[in-house]
């Protein structure tokens, strides 16, 4: 039986979306998910998401990396599945709705293919010499460089991702940040699970914006330039210089839909 799918992208971070409210998709089949995400033999995507029912909120989001394994939160994925839910008339009020994900409850706001997503609260922020480490729904290593254009992201990112330091948590995403001005940064990201550079990373943008605010001692509204476009991150800092009320905003666009025979 053909599998109906939808393709969405948020600043170049692309995803396969499946309406799984009937529960027919075999979510435990890692080989199937990996095949669908394969850019040569399948549909091609950075990840796959299932939209499923929730008893209390508008829906549940389940996210899988392109390696086939169910993963931690994806910010751009969350924005894309929010747009998908609006386009499928699954939410009653597109201006503001709620859904559940692996890291907890999220709020979303949709208008003209722009989605704002409220992110999870950040726990401890570990500031080390040369980098910052924090979890914004997914773990992120953030390092500042003078120029990130000529860095071999895959080579340098994989070294950190697979280092002994982060092995206990299954590795980390790695962000190389070039600061443009007090409220603008340029970000390139190596994503675990994809095991490559992606054109954008939502949780990485949030981690990088927060790291920038901590580094310079001020700021709560940032433009994050990524290879696939730009994102906006805003938050509030409390008296202990810790972020709260974190929102990620950017485009989330439908690309195409289709059917595929997949055993």
Q: Is 148 exposed, middle or buried (0-12, 13-18, 19+ CB in 10 A)?
A: middle
φ and ψ at residue 213, rounded to 5 degrees? -60, -40
Tokens representing residue 136 in the block: 């914004």
User: Has 37 been annotated as catalytic?
Assistant: no
146 with 179: CB under 8 angstroms? no
Q: Among residues 17, 45, 71, 74, which one is catalytic?
A: 74
Q: What does each C-alpha distance from 59 to 84, 115, 225 come to in angstroms?
A: 11, 16, 30
Active site residue 74: yes
Kindly name the residue from 48, 201, 205, 225 that is annotated as catalytic: 201
List residues bridging with 101 in a β-sheet.
Answer: 104
Burial of 89 (0-12, 13-18, 19+ CB in 10 A): exposed
202-216 vs 75-87: helix crossing angle, rounded to 10: 130
Could you list the active site residues?
Answer: 74, 201
């Amino acid at each position: 039986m053909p599998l109906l799918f939808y393709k969405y992208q948020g600043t170049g971070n692309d995803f396969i979306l499946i309406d799984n409210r009937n529960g027919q998709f075999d979510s435990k089949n890692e080989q199937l998910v990996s095949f669908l995400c394969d850019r040569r033999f399948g549909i091609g995507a950075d990840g796959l998401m299932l939209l499923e029912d929730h008893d209390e909120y508008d829906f549940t989001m389940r996210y899988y990396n392109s390696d086939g394994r169910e993963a931690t939160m994806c910010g751009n994925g969350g924005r894309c599945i929010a747009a998908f839910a609006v386009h499928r008339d699954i939410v009653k009020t597109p201006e503001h709705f709620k859904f559940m994900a692996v890291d907890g409850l999220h709020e979303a706001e949709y208008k003209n293919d722009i989605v704002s997503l409220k992110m999870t609260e950040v726990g401890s922020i570990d500031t080390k010499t040369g980098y910052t480490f924090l979890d914004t729904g997914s773990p992120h290593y953030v390092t500042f460089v003078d120029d990130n254009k000529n860095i071999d992201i895959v080579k340098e990112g994989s070294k950190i991702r697979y280092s002994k330091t982060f092995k206990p948590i299954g590795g980390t995403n790695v962000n190389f940040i070039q600061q443009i001005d007090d409220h603008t940064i340029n970000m390139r990201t190596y994503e675990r699970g994809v095991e490559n550079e992606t054109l954008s990373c939502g949780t990485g943008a949030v981690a990088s914006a927060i790291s920038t605010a901590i580094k310079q001692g001020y700021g709560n509204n940032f433009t994050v330039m990524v290879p696939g476009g730009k994102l906006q991150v805003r938050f509030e800092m409390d008296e202990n210089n810790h972020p709260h009320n974190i929102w990620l905003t950017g485009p989330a666009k439908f690309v195409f839909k289709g059917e595929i025979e997949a055993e």
